[in-house]
Structure 1
Amino acid sequence: MRYLFMLLLVIGNGFLLAQNRVGEINHAEHYNYKLDYRVNYFDKMIFKVDVNTDIDNFYIPKLNYTNDRRSIFSPDEQLKLRFSFDYKFLGISYSFSPDFIPENNYKKADTKTLDLSFKFFYSDRLRQEVIFKQVKGFTLKNPDDLSPIDVFNDLQINTLGGKTFYIMNNNFSYRAYESQTERQLKSAGTFMPSLSYYLNNLYTNNPNHNIESLSRIRSFDLRFQFGYMYNYVINKTWFATGGLHPGIGINASKSYYENSGFTREENNPKVLHYNFDFNFSLGYNHENFFSGISANYKNYQYDNSKISDIMSTKFNALLFIGYRFNEVKGVKKVFETLEKKLHL
């Protein structure tokens, strides 16, 4: 009886593997890529945890507390913890800055952060990202040596935005780099044009009722980049990814001032800016377990004496670890229904 059960188990696993292989072949034929370049894990539910330094600094010249026209406001958190879930076409992540990380305990401002993101593919090569960020509690720093000057616990900045980009080479797997829902089997690169759009709202939450004071800054950024990325397959389990993304954008912002219950609006000059992103990743990618490190550098050149916006430069590093679990039938049924309705 035991041998019969083992035989049935082997046959069942073989049937599932054959089914998955047929699904891969159909997917490759439908989207016109070669099977020896990419293998997908769409039948897996993927959970990932990472520790990262994705902390924004803000240059806010309208709040001029220093001799330099750029007042630098920085949240005191140094590290974020992020949890991600990826399955089929959808990716969801949630991150925050926990106090139990030692580096986050040496702070002056009572900083609280929240990040949410949703990522999905309209098709095999057209990808959409949507993000929401909220940061409250900043330290004003000296522009020369970044030493703390004052604390603004009520200062809050909300960011809502997204990014749409197109992967031009069918054989290149962006999923292998970003979410590990695929694995690159042969080295490949691609040009990748993208359009980003971000709406930032700054709230001072501490107006001076005796004189006119700044209460809010509303800022919108539109950026176009024409980048290139390359997945280098070192061997069956190790990979490296590099990318360069130059671009151009425009910023439009509006300031709101309050005095005794009355609000005055002031349009700031529209400003063109040049931007440049560089990303690099090195990782281990086995059948189910994966891990790695990643780094990203961003440089945005504005005329900061005229506008108020997110930092002009930022370096972000992260360490990630994850595992691919077998899919749950109930979740699979829901996603297959969505795929049919959305024609994905």
Structure 2
Amino acid sequence: MLRSKRHTPLSRLGRTVLLAAVLLLHAAALAQRPKLSKLPKLPKLPKVKMPHIGFLQQPDSALRRQYIREFGHWKTGRLVLSTRNLQFELRSRTRRDAFIQFRPSSSTTLGVAGYSRRLGLELGFKLPTSGERQKRFGNSRIVDWSTTFYGDQFGADAFFQRYRGYYVRNGYAVDSLWRRGNPYPRYSNLAAFHLGGNIYHVFNHNRFSYRAAFTQMERQVKSAGSFLLMTSVAIMNFSNEGQAFIPSRRLPGYNNNNLGYARFYNLALAPGYGHTFVRDRLYVSLSLFMGFGLQHQRYRMNDRIENVGQVFRKYNMRLATGYFGEVFYGGAGLLLDNSSSRVQDLVLAVSTPSLRLFAGVRF
């Protein structure tokens, strides 16, 4: 029979001695390691200054106060007289004297507005037109809505325009018997639709303020300018209920291009520059954007539907002038948003001029 080995007291003593020896060796090894404080110091890396990126820069309050100052009043009210429309022009690419200018009957609005710091509300009413004017220019049916945001670094416009009923400003282009003073030739079923917006960035926003020039919710103290960058998107549609815009194939210079319908989808990028000139409390501010964009066109030419892609030109101009008063103030603002597109042998130039006159009081 096999017997299991029994641990004697001597064997247990040997294991205890062996464990104690291992612990002593480990403690001795730790004592020989260098202390962290005595390790050699690594050389310091040179400081690298990251470049400023215009879109990420934070406002420099001290610098901004040298050029732009907020008014102490929290609230303001104003009267506003404004006019705005959607107009376009068809031109021949082969003859400079062959063009037709389509205009809606004017739409002038008188409104009141109230602002509290950077929030505002404006209500406007269309002014009536005389019967004599309606006989000369017709009566356009208009839905026109727009909104504008002026921030420190960014600004934006959004608009919705639907017009029906146009007259031909240069009436001789479609009627050889037309004379100035006569009623203008009218296209009562000619309709235009425009939906879109612009977003732009102000690079030198610590010195240049759009809000001061166009809303006077703050004051430009010193003359300054800034480079600008605008992105624009829009949908435009023009139709005449199955009839051609050019009324007769016999009109010279149009090469029988009878455009009857057109829809454009636009995406554009336009760099620009703006500058505000200040003298005491008077100011003039001028900005100009110029660029190009991609356009998808769908149109009917001579009873044939076409789908093409084109490069088009984009322009945007903003002009403002006025008086920075502590209590009473006033000014004017003009905005022109234009695009020019080639449709075979024609050029379709679209413009949305907007003019505002205002006078107000701070309280």
Q: How high is the TM-score relative to the length of structure 1?
A: 0.65
1:38 aligns with 2:80: no
**Aligned pairs for 1:31-180 within 5 A:** 31-33=59-61, 34-41=64-71, 43-52=74-83, 54-59=84-89, 70-77=99-106, 80-81=108-109, 83=111, 86-90=115-119, 98-100=127-129, 105=134, 107-120=136-149, 124-142=152-170, 150-169=185-204, 170-180=206-216
Q: CA deviation at 1:295?
A: 4.2
1:196 aligns with 2:241: no
Aligned Cα root-mean-square deviation (Å): 4.0
CA distance in 1, matches of 2:287, 2:322: 15
- Which of the two has higher C-alpha Rg? 2
Contact 1:97 1:104 (8 Å CA) reproduced: no
With over 3 angstroms needed to count, the CA separation of the structure-2 counterparts of 1:160 and 1:30, relative to structure 1, is: same
Structure 1 position 283, deviation (Å): 0.7
Alignment partner, residue 266 of structure 1: 306
Number of aligned residue pairs: give it. Answer: 279
Change (3 A) 1:248 1:138: same
Tell me, what secondary structure is at the counterpart of 2:211?
A: helix
Are the structure 2 counterparts of residues 179 and 255 from structure 1 closer, same or farther at C-alpha, using a change threshold of 3 Å? Answer: same
Aligned counterpart, 2:284: 240
How far the C-alpha of 1:303 sits from its partner, in A, is 2.7
Equivalence for 2:361 = 323
**Structure 2: where are the runs of 5+ without partners?**
1-56, 245-257
- Residues 85-116 of structure 1: per-residue CA shift (max 9 Å, x gap): 55444556666753247995563322132321
CA positional deviation for 1:168 = 0.8
Contact kept in structure 2, 1:238 and 1:283, CA below 8 Å = yes
Residue 164 of structure 1, CA deviation: 0.2
Distance 1:161 1:92 in 2: 21
2:110, 2:127 within 8 Å by CA — same for their partners in 1? no
CA contact (8 A) 2:237 2:264 kept: yes
SS in 2 for 1:35: helix
> Aligned partners of 2:132, 2:171: CA distance in 1, in Å?
22
CA distance in 1, matches of 2:147, 2:353: 22
For 1:82 and 1:266, the matched residues in 2 are separated by 43
Distance 2:189 2:263 in 1: 17
Q: TM-score, normalised by structure 2?
A: 0.62
| Counterparts in 2 of 1:82 and 1:227: CA distance versus 1, 3 Å | farther
Deviation at 1:228, TM superposition (A): 1.0
Kindly, what percent of the aligned residue pairs are identical? Answer: 23
Amino acid aligned to 2:191: Q
- Is the alpha carbon distance of 1:49 and 1:251 closer, same or farther for their aligned partners in structure 2, counting shifts above 3 Å? same
